[in-house]
Structure 1
Amino acid sequence: MNQFTTTTTNSIEGWDIKEYLQPVSSNVVVGANIFSDFAASITDFFGGRSDGYERRLNEIYDQALKALINKARSIGANAIVGVKIDFGEVSGKGNQMFMVSVVGTPVKAVKRGDKAGGGESSSYEVYDGELVERKVRAKNIIERFDSDKPAISKIPENTVNFIVESRLPELCNLVMGLLSVWSMEPASSSKQLALPKYFDNLDTDSAINGLYSYLEKHDIDSDALRRFLKIASDNNLIDYEKLKPLLYNNHLNGRKFALELLRRGKASYSAKEIELLRKYSDDLVGLFQPLGTTDQVKGMFSSTAKEVWVCVCGTKNNQSVKYCGNCYKDNYGFYEAEVKPETVANLIRKRLDVISTL
């Protein structure tokens, strides 16, 4: 299989499929008038057939198939099985468009009996030159811009667009760093608004690994927390196993991130996830301890001291006051609008009760 193979069947004769990857698709949309132009020429028809019409259809199909192959190669596949082609018409607001859609399942396949079937490199493999160049460019971007506090203002817009559309997991750490210091940058720009779309194009496993790994290693601020929660929610990046190191570390906002995702439901729950939820529901409240201290303060006209709680920001607050008068957080580091551990623990228990009845 020196050339990239595509087939409408679910197998490739003489080859063993070692791994099925996420399905890919491509669409080519063109104006319907290109075909009416052919029909207008009577000399183009022979026996009821239009050579020009068929030639144009083949060109569009080849274009869609080439885009499909490029997508598959970019994720490490060397073949596509189960290819399906669909022709259709898209219309609206007085316009008519013609669309060719191609979909298939990328696979990693090895020749039957090949000793390299375990995944090692062998002579049959063909490496996608376009992917190589994209990865080389990514390495150059990382070497130039990646740091503890990268500045998006220093990155050209065309470079940001490349990062967003790259589908390369190695750029995830840089993207997370840029999103973390967003609030320190000048007023919002098109580059800042585009960055979260990087996760729309990244495969789910890579997005989860990159997002959770960064949060495990970095103590982020509240602005970055909200940004990452939106990314996780919009892209359904909820992994209960990956939440474990975030819940049991010393970064408050990392624990808040885990807490917020535990509040959200999932499409399905495995037996392993149910066990994790039981553990989390038991541990959640104890994981969040008071951050401040207590002190004795004497009144201006009284010799009697009264007890106050001292917020981590240094402000002394009456015991009857739940939220600090300076930073507006409680003694556990939560704003009033933020979800609390007790609330999430109770919600998890209710979910587990329902699951136990199914």
Structure 2
Amino acid sequence: MASFYRVFGLILIGLTVFFNVSGQDSVTTVAVTKKKWFETFTIRGYVQTRYNRLLETNPNLKCEQCDRSWGGNGGFFLRRVRVIIQGNISDRVSIYIQPDFASSAGGGLNYGQIRDAYFDLAFDEKKTWRIRVGQSKIPYGFEGMQSSSNRLPLDRSDGINSSFVNERDIGAFLYWAPAEKRELLSRLTEDGLKGSGDYGVAGFGVFNGQSANRPDQNRQVHVVGRFSWPTQLSNGQIIEAGIQAYTGKYTVADTTRGVKLINPEASYKDERVAASFTLYPQPFGIQAEYNVGTGPEYDPATNTIQQKKLQGGYFIANYMMKPGKMVLIPFARYHYYQGGKKFELDARSYQVNELELGAEWQINRNVELVAMYVFSNRRYEDAANPDNKQSGRLLRLQAQLNF
């Protein structure tokens, strides 16, 4: 009988161990079960509605690249209708797709068009090194990479933004950033400090060079490089300084009949270098950039598109206040540009001097209002309008919905 009890006891102990181990395994299995790739995806976006006619002194004053409802018969206007789909396909592969449903074409409004469509492949677990392939923003200029939903002025400055249409192109880009710098770059946007997003602290890439949603014209790629270093000082203030450059050949495709080109291929050297500096608003902030280079530009005296030097940049001062749960940021920006815009008719020649005084009012995380009074002096000339100098003032308004 004693032996029976010993055997029976051993059986009970064995069963107890078995069920305990089995239960632990099942719990562990639940804990480590990973989400399916489509369960990691998020959908977000924003809508910007504008009105530019208040206190307007010159309806002939326009900015084609800025806002097509500025001047002329412009009224209420959807500047951007963006929907962003992004997620992780695996631990090291992510995807990002952003269409815009406020594009204009042929005199019509609100057509859909791809802005971003790319994937990132990380080389290590912390994603210190990653390569981006597809249509995306070109790592050139702090303001160029900064999302329009974060930027204070309603449009990017002519000096920096004249480098690329919609700031994007199709290509491949290699980014590097230590984990602590990636965390800081992410925090600058999440905390509402008007960061530019995570494009690494160093970036290098090759791309078509004709800008987004346009086919290559000369079978020669552009090359771009950028280095930027954000730093948090001992007093908590965050600064970021950077330098960037690109080079390539650009083919002018939109010309008026009779305009002469410097060569039959209409191909021009397209090169720039820029310096950037940002003092993030805590509460006072500064943002400044300047670039110099060369590119195609229309010459009214000879009715030709020539290779010419260009230069321009901007300076922004702002101050962040937080009354209650809201955010109010008054700002002032001066920007200047002299040179051509290669992607406009006849590589249109520009000289811009503009001062903007405004404020962004964030009622909550979903609704933002911006009012901006503009003092503008613009010369923009092409073969169809070779003597065109416009100046004036206007109050520009924008309501933005974030979702």
TM-score, structure 1 normalization: 0.24
Q: Which has the larger strand fraction?
A: 2
Give the TM-score taking structure 2 as reference length: 0.22
